[in-house]
Chains A and B, each alone.
Chain A
Amino acid sequence: MSSTKIFLKSSDDKTFEIDETAARASETLKNIIDGGCLDGVIPLPNVSSNILPKVIEYCKKHGGDNGSSKKIANGGVDKDKEILPDYDEEEDKREKVRVDELKKWEEEYMDFDQQVLYDLMLAANYLHIKGLLDLTVEKAASMIRGRTPDQIRENFNINSDFTPEEEEEMILIEDEWDDEWAFD
């Protein structure tokens, strides 16, 4: 596998190194590489040196094997079975182990505080790293699911800007939807 090194410069002028194959996990970087605009160091004015290593870590894990992240996105290995009629059972097992291993890695990788979460989300969005964006957005969504509006406000430090009348109305709405799954 080719291992051309690419240099990325963070917003605070620190340079990091990444393999070309890993960098291709990012659409933005891929376009820069393919466009031949590679001029030594790629400046990334929107990504700080706190977050860039974390992004590189993700790219290293996912770069070069774009297939695997797609498979996960498709809900595991079942889809492949349909596509390939002569599907090898051994291969299937190996794939499962790999997917499990990747899930475990993601779980550990995603263990950080909110500030890192937003920074990482913004970086993934800017660099067009679909998998990482999905991971971070999913984490944010998981912090909303099943919570009451008050809990969400507290969690995300959001101040309510409703008038007292609106506020009352909101409480009603909240109650109705709250009942929704009371019998779950």
Chain B
Amino acid sequence: MKLRVRALESKETLRIETPSPSSLQDLKNAISEKISSLPESLHLSLNRKDEIPDSAPEESLQSLGITSGDLIFYTLNPNGFSRGISTVTQQTQTGESSQSQACNKLSEIQSETLNKPDDSQTITRDLSSGGTSSAVSPSPQQEEPVGLSEDVDEHMNEFEEMDVDEPAPEITRNSSSVPSFMKKVFKEEAVNAGSNSKLLIISVHAVLLESGFVCLDSATKQKITSFRLPQGWASMTSTVCVNYTVPDLFRSGGEVVESVVLKFQILGKFVNVYGSLARKGSDIHALSLNESLFMQSINFVWTNCDSLGAVTDNNESAVKSNHEKKLFEFWKMVKDGLTLPLLIDLCEKTGLVSPPCFMLLPTELKILILDFLPGVDTAKICCICSELRYLSSNDDLWKQKFANEFGFSAAEGMRGSWKEKFAILSERKKRRRRMSTMRPRILRPYPLGIPYFPVRDPVPSGFHAPVGGRSDLLPGGIDFPGLAAPRLLGRRNVVTRCNLGGFNA
């Protein structure tokens, strides 16, 4: 088994290979050999807070929750880690309260071990400038996913310290909280994170939890209070099915009003996720996740699960922030493609207050968004739904669009609504564009006054009538919209019809 071992004080990392299976004692022997000290004086920890109990030195490393690739902290200081926790650390960390205890412990350790606070500050700054990365900072408060980047972070921390009522900050839905939230979920599901696709499923699970969903145990219909997935999910072959709901949908008797089902289908390098409501039929929201795109970054976070602030140089921090960017991309993709649509469906069907979504924005904001669109896109907006059709046919809106794109003077002598005028002029403009895209084709053969016959073209383009009208008869470079009319006239009729359609609303 290959392991990385890091000194708590100096943060120096060693790579160690132990025979498999091996016991805790074997590991201690291996480390003491490397750092030339006595195995008895070594203290080990997985999360650098709680010591791995040495009550059973003969027990295998696997049974203690240590797997290949893990990072293990050691110290010679007998008080470096807290003792007295007899179980493996992963299991002690369920729920918010023990988290905050751990956090407090960590801050004690921090104050002892970080004798150069200035250095650690610099590292934080470097990281922040490289992207969203507050979670990797060594400051104890930032272990909780409250942080924003840069100064807001410092700001909040200052304040959190003043806030006596709430020593443990809540989980806030925030961009830079992504890696640290994921780490928490990974830690609890560490036993099942055997393969890439499983790790990817756990990652999606993390996004669901962070979006406010709770996981349901399909057998007992009870909610799972920790960050874990239902028992036995990892043993399901090709398709994994998981139920989720939101806390508001629990009836007093423990009955669940409605839930959503996620189906994970593993197809080679792809994990397809299908989400829909469990009872009332709804649209299926599908997402296809490519392992090769995200696995490197997810694995990075996973293998560094326990090393919170262990950044030693700028190079490492750059790699870290790069991975975190990628991870955030994944996060966004799952949120926008899966959790938000599911949450909207769920709330719509059960009458709960829906999360903010486009259609629930106040009308003034929707109109403002339309203001920012070019005319063509505004015209298409009217095909989406009746409310948007109504909003996008406002004549003042079109008047403004007309002025922006053509100027008021162009409207002289034109009749009809502003949208109609806009349609007519944009049709003319389109026609001109069409002419100008053809011109080079006509001109190209004679750049030097010598006729040019491309070999692979059956009809040399100089004599070939290109698409549309009689433009082949025209000298290049001069715009004769009137002459090019025959084919295009038909199109103008079509546009007028379109216009009327838009206005029947």
Contact = CB atoms under 8 A, between A and B. Distances in A.
Contacts of B362: 122, 125
B12 interface: no
Contacts of A171: 383
Interface residues of B, number: 68
A106 interface: no
Interface in A124-167: 125, 133, 137-138, 140-141, 144-149, 152-153, 155-162
B385 A176 contact: no
Contact of A115 (B152, B355, B381, B437): B355
Interface in B339-356: 340-341, 344-345, 355-356
Interface stretch (A29-37, A54-62, A70-78, A86-94): A54-62
B200 to A, nearest CB: 18
A66 interface: no
A44 interface: no
B497 to A, nearest CB: 8
Interface majority SS (helix, strand, loop, mixed), chain B: helix
A15 B159 contact: yes
A84 interface: no
Given A50-B174, A53-B152, A140-B358, A145 B373 contact: yes
A157 B358 contact: yes
Given A121-B361, A158-B385, A169 B155 contact: no
A111 interface: yes
A160 B498 contact: no
B359 interface: yes
Instruction: List 10 A-B pairs, minimum CB-CB distance, nearest first.
Output: A118-B356, A141-B372, A156-B358, A176-B498, A170-B383, A149-B383, A113-B335, A57-B152, A113-B332, A177-B379
Interface of B: 131-132, 148-152, 155-156, 158-159, 163, 166, 170, 172-175, 211, 328, 331-332, 335-336, 340-341, 344-345, 355-362, 364-365, 368-369, 371-374, 376-377, 379-388, 426, 430, 433-434, 437, 491, 494-495, 497-498, 501-502
29 contacts: A16-B159, A17-B155, A50-B173, A53-B148, A53-B156, A53-B174, A57-B149, A60-B152, A111-B332, A114-B336, A115-B173, A115-B340, A122-B361, A125-B364, A138-B372, A147-B377, A148-B380, A149-B380, A149-B383, A153-B385, A155-B336, A156-B357, A156-B359, A157-B359, A158-B358, A158-B385, A172-B501, A176-B495, A177-B380
